[in-house]
C-alpha cells in the first residue's frame, strides 16, 4: 500500500528439535557403495529437476561407479511421465528411486542415508527451506548460487551452481565433492553451523519478526513524516482490539436497523466508544 517505509529480509526458519538435530556426522562415500544423490521438495521443471537425469548418466560414466538418484516430493503426473520416459531412454530406471510424499520423520530417515543433496532451486526462490534442512543434517548441498538459501552459506562455499539448469555445472559440483571429501567435510560443518545460527526458528527467526514489528509500531506512531498507510493499518488493528475489549458480548440488533446495516446499539454506545478510542489510539 503506497510506499514502503521500512523493509527487512528475514529468512525461513526451521526447528532443530527434531530428528535432524541428531544427524549423524558427515557421511563419506565408501569405495564399495553406490553414490546416493537426493532431491526433495516440489518435483517440477522450474527447479532444475530435468537436468538431473542426464547428470546422473554422465556421473555414472565419469565416476565409474553406481550412482542413485532419490526423489522425494509431489510431482505433477504429466511431468512424472516425461521424466520416467527420459529415464527409460537412458536406461536409468533402476537407478532412480521415487519416494513420493513423506512425513517429517521419514524425510529425515531417507536423508540420513544420502551422500549429496542436489537442489538446483529456482532463480527467484527466496529462501530454499529444503537447502536449510539438508545443510542442517550435514549433507553437502549443490544449489543455485542466486537462490536466497545461498546467502546463509559460508563465504566461498564451492558447491553452488552458476546456472541451475546446466548439466555441466551439476556434474562438476558433484564430482568436486567426490574428489576431495576432506575439504567437503570442512565446508559441510561450516555450512551446518551457519545455517543453525541464522535459521533456528524459535531462537533466531521469531525474535527477528517480533523486533521488526515493534520497530514498525514505534516508527509508524512517532514519525510524522511517514505516518500514512502503516499508521492507519496499525490504528485499525488497535481499534478492533479495543472494540473487542469494550464490547465482549455480541450486541443485540433491532429489526428496524437491519435494513440500514447499523445495529441499534451503536446509537447508545457509538459516541462513547469513539471518544474513548480517540483518547487511546494515535491519529495518523
What tens digit of pLDDT does each residue of 67-99 get? 999 999 999 999 999 999 999 999 999 999 999
Strands 67-72 vs 141-144: parallel, antiparallel or unpaired: unpaired
**Which of the residue ranges 105-119, 159-173, 257-271 would you say has the lowest mean pLDDT?**
257-271
Predicted pLDDT at 220: 54
Helix axes 77-89, 52-63, angle to 10 degrees: 30
CA 256 to chain centre: 52
The stretch 21-25 carries a mean pLDDT of: 61
Distance between CA atoms of 282 and 284, rounded to whole angstroms? Answer: 6
Cβ distance 77 to 45 under 8 Å?
no
Predicted pLDDT at 246: 60
Instruction: Kindly list the strands in the beta sheet with 67-72, ordered across the sheet, starting from the edge strand earlier in the chain.
Output: 96-100, 67-72, 35-40, 116-119, 141-144, 160-161
**Which of the residue ranges 124-128, 158-162, 227-231, 243-247 would you say has the lowest mean pLDDT?**
227-231
Tally the residues of the chain: 284
Q: pLDDT at residue 212 above 80?
A: yes
Q: pLDDT at residue 178 above 90?
A: yes
**How is residue 75 written as a grid cell?**
510431482
Distance between CA atoms of 221 and 198, rounded to whole angstroms? Answer: 30
**Which of the residue ranges 11-15, 148-152, 217-221 would you say has the lowest mean pLDDT?**
217-221
Q: pTM of the predicted model, to two decimals? A: 0.72
**How is residue 115 written as a grid cell?**
551422500
Element (H, E) at 94: none
Distance between CA atoms of 209 and 206, rounded to whole angstroms? Answer: 5
Distance between CA atoms of 284 and 269, rounded to whole angstroms? Answer: 24
Predicted pLDDT at 16: 76
**How is residue 3 written as a grid cell?**
510506499
Cβ distance 226 to 234 under 8 Å?
no
Burial grade of 29 (CB within 10 A; 0-12, 13-18, 19 or more): middle
What tens digit of pLDDT does each residue of 97-131 get? 999 999 988 998 999 999 999 999 887 777 788 99
**How is residue 236 written as a grid cell?**
485499525
Q: pLDDT at residue 13 above 80?
A: yes
Distance between CA atoms of 93 and 82, rounded to whole angstroms? Answer: 13
Predicted pLDDT at 232: 56
User: What three-state secondary structure class fits 36?
Assistant: strand
Percent of the chain at pLDDT > 90 equals 48
Distance between CA atoms of 206 and 204, rounded to whole angstroms? Answer: 6
**Which segments of the chain does DSSP mark as H helices, in order?**
52-63, 77-89, 104-111, 129-136, 167-179, 181-199, 206-222, 229-246, 255-258, 265-280
Amino acid at each position: 500500500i503506497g510506499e514502503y517505509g521500512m523493509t527487512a529480509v528475514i529468512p525461513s526458519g526451521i526447528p532443530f528439535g527434531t530428528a535432524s538435530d541428531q544427524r549423524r556426522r558427515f557421511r563419506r562415500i565408501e569405495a564399495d557403495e553406490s553414490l546416493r544423490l537426493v532431491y526433495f521438495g516440489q518435483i517440477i521443471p522450474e527447479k532444475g529437476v530435468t537436468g538431473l537425469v542426464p547428470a546422473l548418466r554422465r556421473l555414472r560414466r565419469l565416476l565409474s561407479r553406481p550412482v542413485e538418484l532419490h526423489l522425494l516430493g509431489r510431482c505433477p503426473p504429466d511431468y512424472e511421465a516425461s521424466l520416467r520416459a527420459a529415464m527409460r531412454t537412458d536406461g536409468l530406471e533402476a537407478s532412480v528411486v521415487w519416494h513420493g510424499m513423506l512425513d517429517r520423520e521419514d524425510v529425515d530417515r531417507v536423508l540420513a542415508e544420502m551422500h549429496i543433496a542436489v537442489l538446483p532451486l529456482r532463480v527467484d526462490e527466496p529462501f530454499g527451506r529444503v537447502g536449510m534442512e539438508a545443510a542442517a543434517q550435514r549433507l553437502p548441498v549443490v544449489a543455485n548460487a542466486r537462490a536466497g538459501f545461498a546467502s546463509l552459506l559460508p563465504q566461498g562455499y564451492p558447491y553452488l551452481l552458476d546456472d541451475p539448469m546446466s548439466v555441466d555445472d551439476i556434474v562438476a559440483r558433484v564430482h568436486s565433492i567426490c574428489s576431495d571429501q576432506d575439504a567437503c567435510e570442512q565446508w559441510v560443518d561450516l555450512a551446518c553451523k551457519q545455517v543453525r545460527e541464522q535459521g533456528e526458528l524459535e531462537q533466531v527467526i521469531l525474535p527477528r519478526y517480533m523486533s521488526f514489528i515493534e520497530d514498525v509500531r514505534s516508527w509508524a506512531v512517532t514519525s510524522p513524516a511517514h505516518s500514512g498507510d502503516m499508521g492507519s493499518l496499525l490504528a485499525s488493528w488497535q481499534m478492533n482490539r479495543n472494540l473487542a475489549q469494550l464490547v465482549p458480548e455480541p450486541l443485540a440488533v433491532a429489526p428496524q436497523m437491519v435494513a440500514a446495516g447499523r445495529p441499534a446499539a451503536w446509537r447508545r454506545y457509538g459516541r462513547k466508544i469513539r471518544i474513548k478510542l480517540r483518547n487511546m489510539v494515535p491519529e495518523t
